[in-house]
Amino acid sequence: MLTADNVASSHATRSAGMSRGAAWPLIGRKQAVSDITRALAESAGGVLVTGTSGTGKTFLTTHALKQFRDDSLVVTLRCSAALSRSPYGALNMLLSDLEPGYLNHPVLVLSGLMRLLRERAMGKTVYLFVDNAGEADELTAVTIAQLARNRAVRLVLTCSDPLRLSAEISGLCDGGFLTRVNLEPLSFREAVSWLEEGLSAKVSHSAVQSLWAASDGNPHYLKMLAMELADSGSLVVRDGVWVLTADHRVHGRAITDLIATRLGRMGEADRRILEILSLAETLPLDTLLTLVAADDVDALEERGVLAVEDSLPRRVRIQSQLVADVVRENVPPGRSNELREMVLQAAAPSLRTPATELPFAVWALDCGAPLSTEESLSAARLANRRLDAALALRFVRSIPGHDALAEAVTEEVAALMTLGEVEEALAVVRRHQKLSQAEPALAESIGILLAESSVFLATPDAWLEAPASLAKARKVLYDDTSGPAERMPAPELRRIREQLTLAEAEAAGYAGSYRDMAADLTDSLNNVEFHSPEFRLQAGSWLCEAWAVTGRQSDAAELAEQLKLQCLRPEIPVAIAQSVISRLRFAYLVAGRWDEATETLPTEDWLPSSVIYRRFSATEIPEAICACMQGRGRDGLDLLVPGISQLRIQDSDGILPLACAAAAYASALQGEREAALAYLAETESASRRKTWKVSRAEGYFTALARAELDGSRTGIEQLLRMAEDDRAAGNVGHELLCLSSAVRLGESDAAPRLLDSAGESQGPFAELCAHYARGVMTREADNLMAAANLAARMHNDRFALDIAESILNLDQAHLERSLVRQAKHLAETCRRRLRTPQDGTHDRLTLTARELQIAQLAAAGASNKSIAAQLHVSVRTVEGHLYQIYGKLKIEERLELPVALGSTGDDQS
């Protein structure tokens, strides 16, 4: 049982580079101080600051009050559970200065305090700061409420749980007398900035993501977790960046101690509820109420400890994942087994779902309770769908003789591939081939063939074996008219055929055979009503990628808009959602829709905090690739440097060479030659076979980097070779990218080819390339200027800058002065946005194209909700961008945006 007494004290060893005495930024949102200050200035009677423990209520409120100290008297009262047991407990420090007789009647107390405060204030405004007001005893609450109503003081209250406030104080809020300021947890983007400021160095987004999800954005927990992980060596400095080690733990002793102390004040009934839910993860509310009292559950829900989901049946869970983890780890095995038996007896079998099946299997495994082979395999399958590869391996390897079981090998291979352990996965496949004797059932047989194909495709020395595995599966499922497939139930056969279709799409993706993939998937998706939602989502994302690469960019973008919303559906496993988002993002990139590609990165919005394993490549790298595709070298490096440091520790997806190629190009753009060469050298090391799109993207960035370092000719030749290969394969969408870059580097002879490729492609990027190709072929400045303006509207400032400079290189004697001025203005604007070294401002933070767009809308008076609707993003994404904008422009509130934007000189063309 978890109590404050049975938890060891936190260890004192500190890691290098981390100091407890280091100056951390304000706890919580920087905007919060301004919100509290404004509320104090504008409210009728004061302010109530609410928020969960650790959001910085006391610290931020104290900081805000400092701005009033010169012209006022600030009196601070601290309420606590201990003081609440005594009448006027929190007021004792003031009442000690009154005559004893005043305490005989509340009216005398009130009049005495009013006289005392008036004398001390000497005409100044009195701010009565009551910290932890929810713990105020009744007489204290009545007295401070009356002081406020009589205008003797302006109240400043903090409270974690507004439901614990007395009726007198709540009445002040209900009537609008007090203004309420609620402190929200940090968003993911805010957590990045906050941790980097506190740790005095860059932090990989993967590290921030783990800390942020574990802490639920609570700044106090976030800081403690960072320091604990640094203590244990799980958070280390590599290349000047804080990164997670591969075997990191989410929390340690200090967090456990803190949470245990807070939970130690709970009664036995409350602790029992928390222990049950920490072990079960989630339970139907009806099931929980057969084990515990309804009043106890209601009380914990009101205090924000429990969350009751609006579902059928209604389910209940612990609100904080961190609290759940700490409680679960400190339940003794004997008590855990006792609770498990109680819950199993109470839970109706009809209510068993994947949401409870996996936690109950983990619970059994931890208690040493027996699990059947079927139960272990089912749990492993669910763990893989949640991307918890380590847990999936644990279940699989608990099965006796699992090496010879086809289903067990399938799940083991899936887990190892998630972890990036390709060689180990290949060894598992080879071992199974030797051990397997009995012919498995059809579903298991196809499963192992598809698992083999996935491993072979990723292995440099075995990829030629993949077609044979897929061909064998296809023969059994389609060609053998008298085989076992014909005797299978139709739904089961359809499910297995869907798996084969996706495996064949994966193989085509490795080979770059997108023309054939598009045809096959279109045929498969025609009978849409017969397919499962998961298959339609996955096959649709492959089709998106194929269309974008083969020239149907507009069709791909339209389909992507439909599919990305489906990834948010709770029934879609996170493993599928991540793979789908990755393909949609690539489709947007190839289609030249860079803003959409960046906005398809709401990791913090759609990735559940319950996911234990997170791909290190799912955060910084995709966003950095978007920036580099637009030529924003400095923005790209800001993300790539921490991302590469993290990938050097664990590269599950084998994209470190791609990240290094992009970093080489970004470094070359910034004039950092030595860094660029070092990154290029690192691209030569690869532990697994690359997919076509990864290999192609790496080659594209390598060519651009070589053009910057060694002269344009080297890059042009490589780009033209890639374009020829793309043409031969029918991948005209990617050919368009290569040719446009070659022409921009000076290969004007390729302009006719670029025009032809644009004619075979769809969308605004194809239109841009067509304008540009015509302008290069005719050397007409009007065409070039139209292309430059179109590139700027698409927020590709590098493309716009290149075209604008090509106009300025024409014979200006034959150009209109207005057009020359336009080209100069556009070139300078793009240079500022790109933060290029030539401008001398590459060390100064400027707004990205998306940030500028949001800033201009906000400055014009649009609300966050309105901006989100216009840009088709979440409100949280808008809030995150605004937070970054305020920091870059050195402002604190929305009202300052118009002036700040006017002073930056950044404008849209």
pLDDT score of 240 more than 70 = yes
Which of the four pLDDT bands, split at 50, 70 and 90, describes residue 661? very high
pLDDT averaged over the chain?
84
pLDDT score of 876 more than 50 = yes
Q: How far, in Å, CA of 420 to CA of 729, rounded?
A: 29
* pLDDT, tens digit, 9 for 90 and up, residues 167-217: 888 888 877 788 888 888 888 888 888 898 889 899 988 888 888 888 888
Percent residues over pLDDT 90 in the chain = 37
Percent residues over pLDDT 70 in the chain = 89
Q: 277-313 burial string, b = 16+ CB within 10 Å, else e?
A: bbbbbbbbbebbeebbeeebbebbeebebbbbeeeee
Quick one: angle between helices 692-710 and 732-744, nearest 10? 10
Q: CA-CA distances (angstroms) from residue 447 to 406, 495, 498?
A: 7, 11, 12
Question: Span 821-836, mean pLDDT?
Answer: 84
In whole angstroms, what separates CA 257 from the centre of its chain? 28
Spatial CB neighbours of 769, under 8 Å, sequence gap ≥ 6 = 736, 739, 740, 754, 755, 757, 758, 761
Instruction: Give the 3-state secondary structure of residue 244.
Output: strand
Region at 73 (left for phi over 0; alpha for psi -120 to 50; beta for the rest) = beta
User: Whose CA is closest to 501, among 483, 482, 516?
Assistant: 516
User: Whose CA is closest to 588, among 564, 563, 560, 562?
Assistant: 560
Q: CA-CA distances (angstroms) from residue 628 to 379, 432, 684, 707, 732?
A: 41, 43, 20, 15, 21
Spatial CB neighbours of 412, under 8 Å, sequence gap ≥ 6 = 380, 392, 393, 396, 397, 402, 425, 428
Element of type H or E holding 733: helix 732-744
pLDDT score of 739 more than 80 = yes
Which pLDDT does position 121 carry in this prediction? Answer: 86
Which of the four pLDDT bands, split at 50, 70 and 90, describes residue 758? very high
Full DSSP string of 545-587: HHHHHTT-HHHHHHHHHHHHHHTTSTTS-HHHHHHHHHHHHHH
Which pLDDT does position 619 carry in this prediction? Answer: 59
Q: How far, in Å, CA of 115 to CA of 858, rounded?
A: 48
Question: Span 30-54, mean pLDDT?
Answer: 84
Quick one: angle between helices 574-590 and 732-744, nearest 10? 50
Check: CB of residue 773 under 8 Å from CB of residue 735.
no
Most confident stretch, 369-378, 815-824, 837-846: 369-378
Q: What is the DSSP letter of 10?
A: P
* pLDDT, tens digit, 9 for 90 and up, residues 334-376: 899 999 989 888 877 655 666 678 889 999 998 888 899 999 9
In whole angstroms, what separates CA 653 from the centre of its chain? 17
